[in-house]
Amino acid sequence: MLKFDRGVYIENPRGYDTRAVANLRDLLKIGSPVESDPRRENFYEVDGESETYYIYVSPVSGNVVLVAKWIRQSHHCYSDAGELVA
């Protein structure tokens, strides 16, 4: 879990909308569950209610870089697809 008690500076190099940045900030404030990227040090996936955020946390400054975001799909949508799943 990542939790930022104080305000967190989020860099947004890809220009995601301000709602996405605010939502990510809120998730980091409350200590939302995260999954570390096993291939990249200091990279994490943060799951929101309907979106997942891929972030980098600088070990030097503590700043967060919003690298990517995508809409989460429920697990049952894969089983609903049946034979269409590759």
Q: Which domain holds residue 53?
A: 10-74
- Output the domain CATH number for residue 50: 3.30.2310.20
* CA 67 to chain CA mean position, Å: 9
Average pLDDT for residues 14-41, to the nearest whole number? Answer: 93
DSSP 1: -
Q: Is the pLDDT of residue 78 over 60?
A: no
Q: What is the pTM of this model?
A: 0.80
Average pLDDT for residues 63-85, to the nearest whole number? Answer: 73
| Domain assignment of residue 35, yes or no | yes
Query: Which of the four pLDDT bands, split at 50, 70 and 90, describes residue 26?
Result: very high
Q: How many residues does the chain have?
A: 86
